[in-house]
Chain A
Amino acid sequence: MIVKDFLKSPAGLAGTIILILFSLISLYVVATFPLNYGTKYWSNPKYWEDYPKLVPPVWLNYFVPYKLPQHYVNDLTKPTEEIGNVKKYIFTYNIDSDKFPTGIILKYMNLTFYGDVPVISLKVKRPDGREVTLIDFDGGIPPPRPGETPPYVRFVENSRTIILAADPQAIRKATAFANELGVTCTTTDVQQAGLVPYIVLGEPTSKTCAAESFKPLKGEYVFEVEMIGDPRDQLGMVRLVVQGAVYGAMGTDYLGRDLAQGLLFGFPVALFIGGVVALLATFIGMALGIISGYIGGRTDEAIQRFADVMNNLPTLPLLILLVFVLGQKLINIILVLVIFGWAGTTIIVRSMVLSIRSSQFVEAAKLAGASRWWIMRRHILPPVLPYSFALIILSIPSAILSEASLSFLGLGDPSIPTWGQILQQAFDNGALQNFAWWWILPPGFLIVLTAVGFVLVFFALEPLVNPRLRRQ
């Protein structure tokens, strides 16, 4: 009956759909993400090293008149060609976009060698037939230590990573190549403006040494990684990353973090914080309201005065202060939100209890000799319960919004990514100045949408459970 009435109202239906959708997403996240996702992946910049930094989502390509390159990652575990002591790892990469990729990274792991340090080089064959050798030999391999016996194994836990735009050798070679193309560049220019990808993957349109004087040379590129050494020498894995100018469903932030993942992880966290805080605060508020309203007298006076104080405090300043004092842990944030969340419920419930207290069934129970607790449990609680349930629904969004506010001030739990924290990092790391709309709008809209979902459900629920409104 109530369910039917509830779903008949458009607000209730819309709210329920939002909340069911969000709960399903949360369940999916809880089932697929590890619990320590925040510390192990999200807050670990090393994990996001290969990802393009601060790029918009892939679907932006449908809305802009030019084409942005996708992210390219390829791993080779076996050499493509092997002639004697020369092993070649060949990657082919195709440019069909109108803009440049944001970076090129070469990685390898588990290097095993027996004699001298092997010579590892990187050469690029361009669609226009030119070749550019970016790395003659990799000088970053630690030579055998005194007393160490072959086979020598290197880069087992941490891979060898060469970011071409920052590697001195690659910068030197790229500068020479740029001069060959007719662009007057110095190594300092190339290094400071990060021009390596532009030079390697582009053709010049003017002589000045700037990103604008290159346009992408479309066609197929061959990246050739060559290892020359002992025939037994081995590479466990070679990876070529050409960082896209777009990434994933939601783009990336300044550390290259996939925002889609962070936003997904925010779903269960938001619902959890909102749910726990609302449940605890409303429960405490309801219990105190019933006691205050039914027992009356001094108890009532004391509880109401206290609720009055709590209700009149400047809430946000004290929330900030308390979290700052207690430390930025999830449990503290929940605790503080509960401390400041119960008073409103107590005042409302008390006024409901006052009218119930004078009803005849309570008088009858009293005359029959029922104890105070029995009356409170059996006669006062049931009529208060439905409205309290609605109040829980209403406190969830305010808890979610408060948590987001705290996070936005940098007071969130750093080990658990939330939407508010993503917004805070966006605000503090120049998302506005770089017009990184994909970094600011989605987390905020998710916060708002969650809150709207609960508010809509409350709006639909209130007339059904509030006796005063039902009459009208």
Chain B
Amino acid sequence: MASLTKTLIIKAVSLVVVLIGVLVLLAVIMGATGLSDKMLKSMLTAEVQEYKQMLIRQGKDPEAIQKAIEEYNKTRAEALGIDKPWYVRLPQLIYRLLVLDLGNSRTLQSSWGSNKISDLILDRLPNTIILTTTGISLTAVVGIWIGLYIGSNIGGRADRVVSILSAVSYALPLWFVGLVLILLLAYAPKILWGVQIFPPGGMVSIPPPKDPVAYFLDVLWHLALPLIASFIVFFGGWAYSTRNIVFNVSQEDFVNFARAKGLPEGVVRSRYILRPSLPPILTNLILSLAFSISGYIITERVFNWPGMGSLYYDAIRALDEPVIFALTYVFTLVYIVARFVLEILYIVVDPRIRLA
């Protein structure tokens, strides 16, 4: 037991190192390329310009204005931290992130006008969970279920179909499938026959329905195309990887031994094949769910879905440094936590690790 705790602690420490490593890397990227300075300078110039306009409107004499502006410039530069080099400024940002103080954005705002990054995330995260996480859960459940079936029927027709689907899965970009579906199922019926079968994008109709049930159905209607797209793209991959895991386990000696012992096939399958297949399948599922938090940047754009992916893209476009840092941190943090949860889960589901 003591050795287990020790292993877990080592894992935890190395995951935290990874987390810090990601942030440091990001800081170096933003700092060493001069991007961070550039962003702050353009902000400072804008602020000072605004202040100057205000003073001029108040009708002060030019000399006093000049002096006031210099003073203002200095205090603002200090407040923004531009008087310090990036390798002094950015570590402070990293430290604040590590203690979960996400801070405020520079320009981006949540839908209710808040500048707090935690509000921005609260605003977008549910949308991403509705889209991405639902999509992954649905696809994974169906894919794993079919993969389990195929894994014990290798070489059949279903097996060949799934093998081809997995190749397609690797080669099909989700956003392109989204584009095709929007073109063929949303715009084509509308333009050619004048009926709107599916909406071309967005999360709810404008204006949104008042009645909660109608609202729910409306979101579901908007969700249909992205869900179909992610099912088409990811189904093959899930089924195929599950098939491989099950197939590899069923090649093991202990499975042959169980059969040789004369155990009924049902027992062999559930106790000797499925049980050891569980940890790697769980790994796939949990890591995908963790990754899903970051949303699909391009697909959210294609479907005009206001999720985390489009928030990140907006942050890059607007050069909103604190948001970029905070989101990268949150994405990595979720991933790291998922990895740690997995380590614990392994111990729970795999007696070979627990008893070793």
Residues of A whose CB lies within 8 Å of any CB of B are 11, 305-306, 308-309, 312-314, 316-318, 320-322, 324-326, 397, 401, 404-405, 408-409, 423, 427, 432-433, 435, 437, 440-441, 444, 447-448, 451-452, 455-456, 459, 472
Contact = CB atoms under 8 A, between A and B. Distances in A.
B14 A448 contact: no
Contact of B33 (A326, A397, A427, A452): A326
Interface stretch (B118-126, B138-146, B328-336): B328-336
Contacts of B30: 325
Interface residues of B, number: 48
Contacts of A432: 179, 182-183, 186-187, 200
Interface in B146-184: 163, 167-168, 170-173, 175-176, 179-180, 182-183
B85 interface: no
Contact of B179 (A322, A324, A397, A444): A444
Contacts of A408: 175, 298
Nearest to B297: A316
B185 to A, nearest CB: 11
Contacts of A441: 180, 183
B237 to A, nearest CB: 12
18 contacts: A312-B18, A313-B22, A313-B25, A316-B298, A317-B316, A317-B328, A397-B171, A401-B171, A404-B173, A427-B179, A427-B302, A435-B188, A441-B180, A444-B180, A451-B170, A451-B171, A455-B167, A455-B170
B188 A409 contact: no
A59 B181 CA distance: 23
Contact of B29 (A325, A397, A401): A325
Interface of B is mostly: helix
A50 to B, nearest CB: 28
Contact of A309 (B18, B29, B251): B18
Contact of B167 (A306, A313, A326, A456): A456
A437 B191 CA distance: 12
A459 B183 contact: no
B171 A472 contact: no
Contacts of A409: 297-298, 301, 313
A318 B328 contact: yes
A325 B339 CA distance: 30
Given A325-B30, A440-B180, A444-B179, A320 B316 contact: yes
Contact of A405 (B298, B327, B335, B336): B298
B21 interface: yes
Contacts of A305: 14, 17-18, 21
Contacts of B21: 305-306, 309
B175 to A, nearest CB: 6
A448 B176 contact: yes
B332 A312 contact: yes
Interface in B222-245: none
A317 B312 contact: yes
A404 B171 CA distance: 12
B56 interface: no
B332 A313 contact: yes
Given A305-B17, A314-B331, A397-B170, A320 B33 contact: no
